[in-house]
Chains A and B, each alone.
Chain A
Amino acid sequence: MTRSDLASIPGNWRLINREEVLDMAMGDVEFLAEMIELFLSYVPRQMNDIKQAIEENDSQKLSDAAHACKGTISNYTKLEPFHLLQSLENDGKSEQIQETRIKFHLLEKEISLLSAELKMLMVQECGHSPSAEHAGSTQRQSL
């Protein structure tokens, strides 16, 4: 069973706290669906910004891009993806970017899991999946 499969089991969340996410949406399932859809459309772009910064060895850009993505995911989790983004942001600030590729690969897996959990939460709470536009938008973007 993969970690993404685990996310598909109702109540088995590794990254999100269901109650906290529902609180964030003030218990409004339409608002929750809107924000998850928006999350699924933004995160791939933000991941792409991080990837480009790493490829270009641009530490300032890496710090900015990781900080922005951290802000986006912080409403949903404070676990591994958050820590990885914080670490990438710090690497950018201190211009220590030797290990960023490894961290980015780990981050891709974590973001995929987070997206899977949010999609599942959307199905459970809102009764529908994300629009087709976002259904496959969290595919990995290998360096």
Chain B
Amino acid sequence: MKILVVDDVGYTCHFHSRLVEKFGYTACSATSGYEALNYLKTDNDISIVVTDLMMRGMDGVDLFREAQTLERFTDEGPLDPPQFILMTALRLEKNSQDKDVQRLKLAKELGVAKIMFKPLDQDELEATLKDMAMGAPNTASNGKSLDLFTPTQRLKEAVKEIIDSGNAGAAEQFIGCLSEEVTSLQKFLETLETI
């Protein structure tokens, strides 16, 4: 499994690639959306993409969209699109007309698995990559594993929205239960990996 880091700012691209390597993963990097797309077309080992939002040419949202339509095949059949982490230094503000903020909102609507704000919280990044890696297809072995991260993340975000809307008590109870279930499932999957 490889993680592709995409950022058109060389320093940031290098920094995040090295960080991913220090977490124990194999990283590759691209300094544009187009270059990233070429990597995805030719390297089936890439299961996770960590991309910047604002990039000249193809931005992170366009890269996500293009990646969903890419046809990637292994000997065992078609491969799921990679999971995405979108990085941005922007902040989501209600009613903002800033076009970059609108792109960020669009990314959320399109279902990007995770949006992280720069500078990245390294613990959060490591935990997110770990969760994603557990659900990432392993092209080196037979079959595809289940993507557990994306639906779980969507559920969590849905509950957060309930909290934001004011029904805090019920929603907090629900998210607590959900987190427990996810932890149990992760432990179960770790047990499977060690067998």
**CB–CB B98/A93 < 8 A:** yes
Contact B122 A34 (CB under 8 A): no
A70 touches B11 (CB 8 A): no
Encode contact with A along B50-69: 1 for CB under 8 Å, 0 otherwise.
Answer: 00101010000000000000
- The reply to whether B9 and A72 form a contact with Cβ atoms under 8 Å apart is yes
Q: Across the interface, do A35 and B89 meet the contact criterion of CB distance under 8 Å? A: no
Chain A residues within an 8 Å CB radius of B7: 71
Cα(A41)–Cα(B7), bound, Å: 17
**Residues of B1-19 whose CB lies within 8 A of A:** 7-12, 14-15, 18-19
B85-119 contact mask (Cβ, 8 Å, vs A): 1 or 0: 00001000000001000000000000000000011
Q: Determine whether A13 belongs to the interface, using a CB cutoff of 8 Å to chain B.
A: no
User: Within 8 Å CB of B187, what residues of A?
Assistant: none
Cα A42 to Cα B11 with chains together (Å) = 7
A71 pairs with B118, CB closer than 8 A: yes
Determine if B22 and A68 form an interchain contact, defined as CB atoms under 8 angstroms apart: no
Q: Which chain A residue has the least Cβ–Cβ distance from B126? A: A26
For B52, the closest partner residue in chain A by CB is A71
Partner of A34, one of B18, B118, B119: B18
Binding site for B on A (CB under 8 A): 23-24, 26, 28, 31, 34-35, 38-39, 42, 46, 64, 67-68, 70-72, 74-75, 93
Query: Can you list 22 A-B contacts with CB-CB less than 8 angstroms, sorted by A residue number?
Result: A23-B122, A24-B119, A26-B19, A26-B22, A31-B18, A34-B18, A35-B18, A38-B11, A38-B14, A39-B11, A42-B9, A42-B11, A64-B56, A67-B54, A68-B8, A71-B9, A71-B11, A71-B52, A72-B11, A72-B12, A75-B15, A93-B98
